Each structure stands twice: as C-alpha cells, then as structure tokens.
Structure 1
Amino acid sequence: MSHSMGESTADTETKKVSEYTRVVYDPIDTRHYGAIHTPIYQNSLFAFENYDQFDQAFQDLQAIPVYSRGHNPTVRYLEHKIADLEEAEEAKCFSSGMAAITAAILSTVSQGDHIICVNQVYGPTREFLGGYLQKFGIETTFVDGSRIEAWEEAVRPNTRMFYLESPTTQLFQLQDIRACTTLAKSIGALTIIDNTWATPVFQKPLQLGVDLSVHSISKYIGGHSDCIGGVVIGSAAIIKALFNKEYMLFGGIMTPQTAALVSKGLRTLPLRLRRHEASALKVAAFMQTLPFVVKVNHPGLESHPQHQLAMTQMSGSTSLFSFESPMELSRIKEWANRLKYFKIAVSWGGFESLVTVNKLNSAPADSPRVVVRIYIGLEEPEDLMADIESAWKQVEALELP
C-alpha cells in the first residue's frame, strides 16, 4: 500500500513533514531546561501564586493543571502528540482502551437511543453495547459491517450512533468508512471507530467523516507490552464535552508514568509499523501455502475480498491477522504449544509474536473450523516461518484424543 499523510491542524510547513519527524520532533522546552523527554509530573495537585490565577484555572480545567484527575502535563503532552498524528484537533487519554471506548459511547447516546454496531466488534465492547446499556434503555443492533445495505436496513428513527471497528480483530473484515459516515450524517447520528489495528499512522478516520476515533494505547502506540491505556480523538468541541462529563465524572485517568512510557513508544511507532507490516505480509503469504490452512484473513493480501477497499482507506497494514483451519481444535492447540517464537497470550502490538486459538463460531455446523489469530512481532520473519512449519510437522502425525 502506498503511504500518504497530511496535517489538518498545523501550518502549511507542518503538512509537509513526515510522520517519522512529527513523532520525534519537539521544540526546545526551556521550562524543562531543554529536557528531551517531557518530565513525569508526579503530582496530585498544582498550586497557584494568587487567587485570580486559581479562579482563572477553573474556567478551563482541560487546559490548565489544577488536579491530575483533570489535567496532568505529562499526559497532556501525549494527547497533543496523538491528536497531531491522527490529524485531529483534540485527544483525551484514559486508563485503558475500554475506559476510552465506554466514555466515547456514553458521550454520544442517551436513554432510549439506538446504536448500530459491526457484528465482529471486540468482545467487551459488544458486551457493553448489547448487554450493559440495555438497563439504560439503549438498544444496539449488530450488523454485517461489510455491507452498507445492512447499516441502512438497521436504521431506526432513534438511531444516534454508528460504532465501527475496521478492520475487525478476529476475521479482519473492513467497513466502508466513508459510506458509513455519510449514512450516519444523513440521519443525524455520530460515528465512532475503533482504530487500534491500523493506528493513526495507517488510517485517519476523521478525514473520512468519523466523529470519534478510539484506540487501545496498550497495543501498537505503546509498543512494548508494558502499559495499559486508551485514547479518544476528535474535534475540540466533542472532546471538551466528553472531558467535562465522562472523563471528569468517571475518573478513568491515565497516570503520568504510563503517559511517559507511551510517549517513548510513540517516537518509534512509524518505524516499528513498517517492520511489522513487511514481516506480517511475508508470513501471511507463507501461511496460504500450508496444508492445514484453508483461509488467511489479512487485508494487506490481494486475496482478501476487501483488499481494494483497504488500499482506498488505509495507507498501510499492520501485523495482526488470522487463519482458518479445518483441523481439530486439539491438534491446532498442540501446534501452538510447540511454537518456539510465538507466545500464547492475549493482546498484541508489542515486540513479541503471539498466537491464540479458538473455534470459528460463524462456521457451518457440518464444516467446523478453527480460527487462529497470529500477531507478528519484530523477530526475523524467516525464523517465524520456520517455527510455524516445524511445529506443524511435529503434530501432523500425532494421535490426539
């Protein structure tokens, strides 16, 4: 995929600056003696010289540090960097991806509203939308996100929000973001997208009409499997309203220590993603040749049914994908057990390769399949491919219960 970028909120010169430069460069900060990294502000509160300053600060708690539940300078620095990278006006960081997701959702809907959501959405998000919100009289319809007709058919008079996740993180199905946002705007609904897979480097949803973009910072943005966090990105007006309500009242704040770790990870995000992308495409293509694989789900492959759409709305692909197998679940789990360079673990986005194995719930009853989610880290792809093949040869002839 070709790579293109821009900057919607900065001047003309900044628009021409590469993302490699934008995540690394900061002006000399004389307040901090030219420190290369923004210091960790380990403060619960901030003092003022006089009461006039104190009163003024309460007029804009998002901009002026008073108490770290509202504004912490270390966290605020990270928010500015992420907003810049996703070409947005504002961003707000949270203690986890789910804290960001639930705050974003609750900021857009009220009792009696209706939500339309892609049916392959992240499990906890689906539970929140389809289960938890019902006690507030908020209903959700889950649709085949790949068909704009499914979104159109699900619209009700009280539909207030579309929730997208493109690509999804199990079968890696895309939604036509521009078509979905156009439909949402035509009925007066807002759109939220989980953009964690593509990151702000490879997908800029706000430029496609999305109102709010959410990320699990724990994944690629942090990049080192050492922190938990989330972020909501959008216009200054929407984020200010979210800050004053869902952020301040629910208290799901990011700590300054986490923000400092994530800021360091952000410096290398575009560089790491190029490596992840190239390695994953090589491994995914290799997986298509193996006897125990019947389908590989990776939008960056030409074999993916939505590859052309991926090339239209993303400027690159990342390294989480899945494959489907007709083999017994026990055999595939034993294959995973014998992998040397893949850890069996949840999450993704760090330097280490990962694998998880599950039944494919959407498979026909007379043709069961296993779906294996593969995350390609920063190891040498040839080593990973040799590991995959070696593990299969070890289990291929085993007698398993």
Structure 2
Amino acid sequence: MEISHILNELGEDRSLYFNAVSPPIVQSSNFVFDTFEDLRKAFEDEDSAYLYSRGKNPTIEILRKKLAALDGAEDALVFNSGASAIFASVLANVGAGDHIVSVDKPYSWAWRMFDNMLPRFNVTTTYIDGTRIENFEKAILPNTRIIYLECPNSNTFEMQDLEAVARLAKERGIITIVDNSYSTPLHQKPISLGIDLSLQSATKYLGGHSDTVAGVLTGKKDMLQKIFNEQLLNNGSGISPFNAWLILRGLRTLPVRLQHITKTTEKVIGFLKNHPKIERVIFPFDENFPQIELARKQLSGACGLLTIVLKADSHEAIERFTYSLKHFLVAVSWGGHESLILPQAAGIAPETFDPTIEKHRMARMYLGLEDADYLIQDLEQALTVL
C-alpha cells in the first residue's frame, strides 16, 4: 500500500462527515443505539461498534487503520502514552511465575515495570546484551514468555537482529515485543521481520509537534483484540479523540519532516566529527558505529537522534556548554519541530562526575526542523566554552 494513500486517504470516508477535508474530532463519550440487538452486540464486543469512547471512537478508528497499515500489521491500538503501550503489551502476555528476557537498559519505564512492579507477581526478568543472538539463546528459560527488544535504543543505539531473534522466539513459543520509537515504521518494519508486537511512542515523530503524548501497538488482530479487552478497556489507557486527531495531523507531514531532519543530521554530524572538542559521535549510520552493517540491513534510514561524547574535564564545563546553546532546548523526548539536548551529566551529582568515564561526558542531541547551518553556528559558538 502506498504511503501517500495511507497518510492522506486510508480510513477517511468524507461522505460520513459533511465532506470535510480533515476528519472531525468526535468528542463524544458515548453513542446511541437504535435496537436492542445492536446494543447487545456492542456489549459482547466493544471493538465491533461505537459504544463508549474509552474503547472505540470514530476519530481514533481512522488513526488505528493508518497506523496498522504503516507497520504492515493486521491491527493497531493507540494508548494515552508510550508507557501504557509497553505496559499493556507485556501484561497481556505474562502470568505469575513467568520469565522475561529483555535487552539491557531498556526505556526507563519498561525497566521500572520489570524491576519494581512485575516481581510482586513473581515475574522475573533477565537483562542481556542484545547485540548477539547467542545471548538470547543462553538467557531463555523453560518459563520464558516474552523477549523484549528496543531497536535501536535511544541513547547509544544498540540494535538487535530482529529477524534472527523472531526466528528463535517462534521456535520456543515466545512472544517478541520491540520498541520501534527510534526508527518509526518509515525506517524499520519489525512486523515484516517476524516480530509479534511492535510499539512506539507516538509522542515523538508521529505527532511531530511536541503537543501530545501517545503510544502505538501493532500486531496480529487476535493478539490486539485480547489486549483491547483485557488491558486497554480495563485500565482506561486509550487515547482521547483530540489527541488522536493531533497525531492524524502529524502523520500528514511525517515523510517530509523525516526527509528534512535526515539531511540536517547528515550535515551536522559532518561538522561534529571534525570538531576538536568532540571525542566521537554515536549514530547508527556513522561509519564507526559497531553495528553499521546491521543498521544498513535492517533500517532504511535514521533521523535526528544522535549522541556526542564531549572532550570535557568537569561537570561544570558540560553545564556551561549546554546553557551556552541558544537554539537547543534542554529537555527529554525527541521527534518534534524543536532541537533538543540532554547531557548525561545532568543526572550525575557534580561530586561524582568522572571525566574518565565516557558515559559522564555523553550528551544526546535531537535535531529538529531548523536549518542545518543555523544549528551548526549555535554548536560552534557553544563548543568554544569547553
């Protein structure tokens, strides 16, 4: 299916809403039924009819169709945050006493669920270096139910061979879940590589304007139907119609935004790699990235998220550099219109800062929709303070 059709036409029947070009926000909590029979069927399956917007809603339905098609999946669910999508995908597939294999240092809220919440139900997690398939083979136990992946991760961008992991998991009857937030469905297709459930933070590139929080989960219809009934409805973790509309708006410009950001990133990385105050740049398509061959095989592109290692000898120097930037905001997240920076030193007490530890000198950067030269000039003047 052509991406232009998905983003601009799929799921949109304008005859149903006054021939409006943009779908309306159906900001209704509930819906009317003409017969007992229709109401009875809706009670039996809330995903088959518009009953109550905690579950199914016309605006959200259009978004679900587009997101499923983008991922090449049978169905999609949209949650009120990426963390909700992670929670629902995992909780739906484990029971008391089960075991999870996860890549090392996953997204913080996945990590907290594995370490703080699930142990209360005797669910254990083994963390591994996911860059080698043999590490998965060694970590699997008889009670392993989920392999949790993050590819690439969002700090140093380690990847997993999704096709190899999916093949291993299917042989053992294990569910695979991957966080695809870094790449979006435009640059990586986990479902086509055999992964069972693909999730992403729609807060990032899909929304694209830093004005909404949402999460997406895609996969087979039967798996998502179970999650819809048991997690989304029970937890009330579905997205609101207004936020769904904001993501629909963001999808219209997704390809052109990613193209612009990609070009900007290439130019900025060229500047950073040749600057004497930068020790190295970490980026999946950099020639020195340890997994560049896997990146070329598995990703069709990478966008604006990269990490730099600063040549800095103190916590104060990194803080001075950070706040000398005039056009980068100091903030978490990525994928919006604005450029951001997030130094690791911000989470380290000054007295424990150690310049010999590379991680302490790392700063994650996101390059937004500004002009590349505009950002380079800002970086150049700020790096002088180091």
Q: Which amino acid aligns with 2:225?
A: K
Kept in 2, the 8 Å contact 1:285–1:301? The answer is: no
Q: Which amino acid aligns with 1:270?
A: P
Kept in 2, the 8 Å contact 1:281–1:301? The answer is: no
Write the deviation string for residues 113-135 of structure 1: whole angstroms up to 9, x where unpaired. 11111113111211111222111
After TM superposition, what 4+ stretches of structure 1 lie above 4 angstroms from structure 2? none
Distance across 2 between alignment mates of 1:149 and 1:223? 37
Write the deviation string for residues 138-182 of structure 1: whole angstroms up to 9, x where unpaired. 001111111112111111111111000011001111111111111
What is residue 155 of structure 2 aligned with on the other side? 170
What is residue 125 of structure 1 aligned with on the other side? 110
Distance across 2 between alignment mates of 1:126 and 1:98? 11
Aligned pairs for 1:237-316 (under 5 A) are 237-316=222-301
What is residue 22 of structure 1 aligned with on the other side? 6
What is residue 142 of structure 2 aligned with on the other side? 157
Tell me how far 1:286 sits from its aligned partner.
Answer: 1.9
Tell me how far 1:186 sits from its aligned partner.
Answer: 1.5
Tell me how far 1:282 sits from its aligned partner.
Answer: 1.8
Distance across 2 between alignment mates of 1:72 and 1:22? 19
What is residue 335 of structure 1 aligned with on the other side? 321
1:356 aligns to what SS in structure 2?
strand
Tell me how far 1:365 sits from its aligned partner.
Answer: 7.1
Tell me how far 1:387 sits from its aligned partner.
Answer: 0.8
User: Given the alignment, which residue of 11, 18, 21 partners 1:33?
Assistant: 18
Aligned pairs for 1:1-400 (under 5 A) are 15=1, 17=2, 19-26=3-10, 28-327=13-312, 328-359=314-345, 367-369=356-358, 370-393=361-384, 395-396=385-386
Tell me how far 1:217 sits from its aligned partner.
Answer: 0.8
Distance across 2 between alignment mates of 1:202 and 1:135? 37
Q: Which amino acid aligns with 1:95?
A: N
Q: Which moved more, 1:52-61 or 1:241-250?
A: 52-61
Q: Which moved more, 1:324-333 or 1:335-344?
A: 324-333
Distance across 1 between alignment mates of 2:13 and 2:231? 34
Distance across 2 between alignment mates of 1:28 and 1:230? 25
Q: What's the TM-score once normalised by structure 1's chain length? A: 0.91
Q: Which amino acid aligns with 2:146?
A: M
Q: What's the TM-score once normalised by structure 2's chain length? A: 0.94
1:38 aligns to what SS in structure 2?
coil
- Identify if the C-alpha distance between structure 1 residues 253 and 366 changes in structure 2 by more than 3 Å, giving closer, same or farther: closer
Distance across 1 between alignment mates of 2:208 and 2:198? 19
2:344 aligns to what SS in structure 1?
strand
Distance across 1 between alignment mates of 2:121 and 2:299? 36
Q: Which amino acid aligns with 1:237?
A: D
2:44 aligns to what SS in structure 1?
coil
Write the deviation string for residues 242-266 of structure 1: whole angstroms up to 9, x where unpaired. 1110111111121000011110001
1:58 aligns to what SS in structure 2?
helix
Distance across 1 between alignment mates of 2:166 and 2:208? 30
Q: CA RMSD in A?
A: 1.6
Segments of structure 1 that go 5 or more residues without pairing to the other structure are 1-14, 397-401
Between Structure 1 and Structure 2, how many residues are aligned? 377
Kept in 2, the 8 Å contact 1:146–1:173? The answer is: yes
Q: Which amino acid aligns with 1:368?
A: I
2:33 aligns to what SS in structure 1?
coil
Report the identity percentage: 38
Q: Which amino acid aligns with 2:236?
A: G
